[in-house]
A and B are shown apart, each in its own frame.
Chain A
Amino acid sequence: MKTFEEKWTAWVDGQLSGRELSEFEASLPDKAAAEGERAGALKLGELLKRELSARTLTNEEFFSHQLRESVARLRETPAGQARETRSIWWTIPRLLWTGGASLAVFLVFTVLVMREKNPAEESQYLTQILNARVDPVVSPNATFSIFKVKQDRVTVLWTEGLQSLPADYAAK
């Protein structure tokens, strides 16, 4: 059993016929007002159909280009965000590279500094004679000379004028 509203909608759309149509129209209290209302509804429907239908684009190439750019931007955004995230934290390869570079710089400076210091330090690592003395009464003419043999890094304290001794003194 259809309600009045259902029958009214069907009548406005022209879908009632035969006995059902005559019975519905007979049930209307003011048929002329109902006809006017139906005509208004039909006009409104046509107006809406006409106005809300998709318009034909006159510059579709422009809109297509705009859309493609927007899509491309949307696709690029996640990668860009990822890049920004990565740049905040130092990755292990980046740390390794930085560490290696720092070490290389340190070594270069060390080598340069060592090269400058080498002449002085070489003598520091050779044995040094601070002083030497003999009994002036026993060996009044004794003299001292210091030699450094770089080949074996030997330091020699060379004395002259010491009292000579007989061969017996070579005994063990």
Chain B
Amino acid sequence: MGRFPAFLISFIALTIGATSALRGAETVWSGLVIAENVAQPQPIPPELTRIEGSLKKFFGYNQFEVIGQSQKTLKTGQEDWLATSKFFGLHVDARGETEAGYVLNLKLYKEKELLLETDTKLSKRSPLVIKGPQVGGGQLLLVLVVQ
């Protein structure tokens, strides 16, 4: 076998191996966010920078404050975790990985009371925003992003 075919095969094998390794180490950021309109808005948290335009345009608020968050690195796609604030809790239960992303069960609690439950296929390229209940003059948002 010549040098070039050997090099090509090695390169492809390494690329496939590296890709598989990378697939198994993705992190999901989940956050409880209060969106509201204020006179002097704080800068948007770095986790939301990528979707800042959509958030402002879609919800019509000028400030987005993270009141609870969690970052989970998924290895098997079967993990579960909790993002909490003083009164709210977002329980995320990963129920498997597909080619496009993760199958998740989300439950929003107000203290111990279940407010909302949803099942979703969270894409690795597509963040998820859930409009929660009105809180004072603002809005609770649940945000999930595969980083």
Which residues of A pack against B, CB within 8 Å? 124-135, 138-139, 147, 149, 151-159, 162-172
Contacts and interface: CB of A to CB of B under 8 A. Distances in A.
7 contacts: A127-B126, A133-B116, A153-B126, A154-B58, A156-B58, A169-B86, A171-B85
Contact of B100 (A125, A139, A165, A169): A125
Given A154-B51, A159-B132, A170-B138, A130 B117 contact: no
B75 interface: no
Given A155-B127, A170-B135, A171-B67, A124 B100 contact: yes
Contact of A167 (B116, B123, B137): B137
B135 A152 contact: no
B129 A130 contact: no
B54 A154 contact: yes
B118 A131 contact: yes
A130 B119 contact: yes
Interface residues of B, number: 45
A130 B121 contact: yes
- Determine the main DSSP class of A at the interface with B: mixed
A151 to B, nearest CB: 6
- Determine the main DSSP class of B at the interface with A: strand
B133 A164 contact: yes
B118 A129 contact: yes
A107 B84 CA distance: 49
Interface in B42-89: 50-51, 53-54, 57-58, 65, 67-68, 85-88
Given A149-B54, A172-B68, A165 B85 contact: no
A152 B117 contact: no
Contact of A158 (B53, B88, B122, B131): B131
B120 A130 contact: yes
Contacts of B117: 132-134
A114 to B, nearest CB: 15
B23 interface: no
A170 B68 CA distance: 10
